[in-house]
């Protein structure tokens, strides 16, 4: 699809030489350009502290970004025309005159202005204040990457300061999991099909699992991660956002506030946890030395930048309950961790068994009816049900209906960042986190943070390359269930 030239934009990328820009943002913009989804007049302006001119920055993009942009194949002509969109402005945050230089550089450029802050959260407020000091906040859109604060207090402080400069409808708090194709299709399945919506409730759903597992450790991010941990890094944002999408009521429409109002109701209905609850329904772990993909890997406490006696969690498993009419009594199991056995992100909806099996014991052994929404590494949706095996006797086996979108649609699946960046450019807020959602998530998470900060107990150890502490499996076993990979 080719957008008209009056959809022009100026996309200003702070942290223009950073890792996120290199791996995600610029490749996503290239793919949108290659697919004809960017207006011809749209411009991209990289901003960083390096003493570079435009030619040097283009060389950097060609060297460092091109390998990521080329993972699905590279169109050399499209790449060349994409580079022609890019400009560069050297900017030191401590120099007010550099922001005046930025204003002069983008003044003649067309369309809506988007400022993407691919920087640490400590720089969000100074950048916004400096933009306002030269009048660049008026009518612009500001994109804030996670983490947005360290706790509720610091998150509110950032939101208060940014909110004095930009109106809420100008602020795009990005969570890239909300841009993934299967998450979008989950909404379509639920709200577009009479088959699923009647089943999406406590009477028919036994439990729901949401997992985001990583094979990698903290790599070179030890200093950051040791002051953050998995609860802040993944649960407060990604996992609770996915939970709210899964559990939300049907919105009035798909406009931004209707969708986010329903997500907020879920977050506010989460059962609060006190200290006694936390010890029963929250597992925190930390990886020790082990073997991952056939290679020996070190313990978290020996990673560069990590304190040797660190109590920072690299694994979290939680049992969550939603206190409303639709979901009362249904456990939601959330899990995330580093140095786990596989890289996978998925949502598993386990449906209740039939009330009486007339088909014999093989029906009980064959497995559950379930819907598995795989977010990464391959994006798929599968509905598992039972079918008779060929041959003599009534022997059942688990089979699945594969919602293979590539067989029905010629267009390839859009990457999450590509979708979200296009939404920013076109002013669509539905897939971005509103401030009250963020506050509700922090309020629910904070008692766990406080309990873990004050307890002297170390996180439960688990071997790198495993699926986490045994206590995680034991927590599910108490409810008569197990993680999906354990059943398989």
229 contacts 313 by C-beta, under 8 angstroms: yes
- Known binding residue 263? Answer is no
- Known binding residue 415? Answer is no
Q: Which residues of 350-370 are buried (b: 16+ CB within 10 A; e: fewer)?
A: bbeeeeeeeeeebbeebbbbb
Helical pair 152-163 and 435-454, crossing angle rounded to 10 deg? 150
| Planar angle of CA 251, 255, 261, nearest 5 degrees | 50
Cross-strand bridge partners of residue 334 = 210, 318
Helical pair 152-163 and 124-133, crossing angle rounded to 10 deg? 10
- Known binding residue 284? Answer is no
- Known binding residue 214? Answer is yes
**SS3 at position 16:** coil
Rounded to the nearest 10 degrees, how much is the dihedral formed by the CA atoms of 402, 406, 407, 408? Answer: 100
**SS3 at position 10:** strand
- Which is it for the CA torsion 336, 337, 341, 345, positive or negative? positive
Q: Are strands 112-117 and 141-144 parallel, antiparallel or unpaired?
A: parallel
- Known binding residue 43? Answer is no
- Known binding residue 49? Answer is yes
- Known binding residue 484? Answer is no
Residues found in the chain: 488
**205 vs 40: CA distance, rounded Å:** 48
Which residue blocks in 202-346 are alpha helix, DSSP H? Answer: 222-225, 229-230, 240-247, 256-268, 275-281
Sheet containing 370-376: order of strands: 396-402, 380-388, 370-376, 344-351, 205-213, 332-337, 315-320, 282-288, 460-463
Element (H, E) at 87: strand 86-90
Q: Where are the beta strands (DSSP E) in 275-355?
A: 282-288, 290-292, 295-297, 315-320, 332-337, 344-351
Whether 238 sits among the annotated catalytic residues: the reply is: yes
- Known binding residue 388? Answer is no
Cross-strand bridge partners of residue 56 = none
**46 vs 28: CA distance, rounded Å:** 14
Of 64, 238, 252, 479, which residue is the catalytic one?
238
- Known binding residue 92? Answer is yes
Which residue blocks in 330-434 are alpha helix, DSSP H? Answer: 361-366, 405-408, 416-425
**349 vs 370: CA distance, rounded Å:** 5
Binding residues for NADP(+): 49, 92-93, 146
**Catalytically annotated residues:** 238
Binding residues for substrate: 176, 180, 214, 233, 338
Binding residues: 49, 92-93, 146, 176, 180, 214, 233, 338
């Amino acid at each position: 699809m080719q957008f008209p030239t009056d959809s022009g934009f100026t996309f200003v990328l702070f942290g223009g030489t950073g890792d996120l820009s290199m791996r995600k943002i610029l490749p996503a913009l290239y793919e949108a350009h290659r697919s004809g989804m960017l207006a011809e007049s749209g411009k991209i302006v990289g901003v960083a502290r390096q003493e570079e001119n435009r030619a040097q920055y283009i060389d950097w993009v060609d060297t460092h970004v091109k390998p990521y942009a080329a993972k699905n194949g590279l169109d050399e002509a499209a790449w060349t025309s994409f580079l022609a969109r890019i400009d560069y402005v050297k900017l030191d945050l401590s120099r007010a005159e550099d922001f005046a230089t930025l204003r002069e550089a983008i003044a003649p450029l067309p369309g809506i202005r988007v400022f993407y802050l691919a920087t640490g959260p400590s720089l969000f407020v100074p950048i916004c204040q400096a933009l306002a000091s030269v009048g660049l906040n008026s009518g612009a859109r500001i994109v804030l990457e996670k983490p947005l604060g360290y706790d509720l207090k610091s998150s509110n402080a950032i939101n208060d300061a940014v909110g004095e400069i930009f109106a809420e409808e100008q602020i795009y708090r990005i969570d890239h999991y909300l841009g993934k194709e299967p998450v979008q299709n989950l909404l379509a399945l639920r709200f577009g099909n009479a088959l699923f919506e009647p089943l999406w409730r406590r009477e028919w759903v036994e439990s729901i699992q949401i997992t985001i597992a990583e094979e990698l450790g903290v790599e070179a991010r030890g200093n950051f991660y040791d002051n953050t941990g998995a609860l802040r890094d993944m649960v407060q944002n990604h996992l609770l956002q996915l939970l709210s999408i899964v559990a939300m009521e049907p919105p009035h429409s798909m406009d931004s506030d209707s969708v986010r109002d329903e997500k907020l109701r879920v977050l506010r209905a989460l059962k609060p946890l006190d200290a006694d609850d936390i010890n029963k329904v929250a597992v925190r772990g930390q990886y020790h030395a082990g073997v991952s993909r056939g290679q020996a890997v070190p313990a978290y406490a020996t990673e560069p930048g990590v304190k040797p006696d660190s109590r920072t969690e690299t694994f979290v498993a939680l049992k969550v309950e939603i206190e409303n009419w639709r979901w009362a009594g249904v456990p939601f199991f959330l899990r995330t961790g580093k140095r786990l056995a596989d890289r996978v992100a998925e949502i598993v909806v386990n449906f209740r068994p039939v009330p009486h099996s007339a088909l014999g014991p093989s029906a009980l052994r064959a497995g559950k009816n379930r819907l598995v929404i795989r977010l990464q590494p391959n994006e798929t949706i599968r509905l598992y049900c039972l079918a008779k095996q060929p041959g003599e006797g009534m022997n059942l086996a688990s089979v699945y209906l594969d919602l293979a979108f590539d067989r029905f649609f010629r267009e390839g699946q859009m990457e999450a960042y590509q979708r979200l960046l296009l939404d920013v450019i076109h002013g669509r807020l539905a897939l971005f986190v509103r401030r009250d959602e963020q506050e509700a998530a922090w309020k629910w998470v904070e008692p766990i943070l406080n309990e873990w900060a004050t307890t002297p107990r170390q996180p439960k150890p688990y071997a790198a390359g495993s699926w986490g502490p045994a206590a995680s499996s034991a927590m599910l076993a108490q409810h008569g269930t197990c993680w999906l990979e354990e059943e398989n």
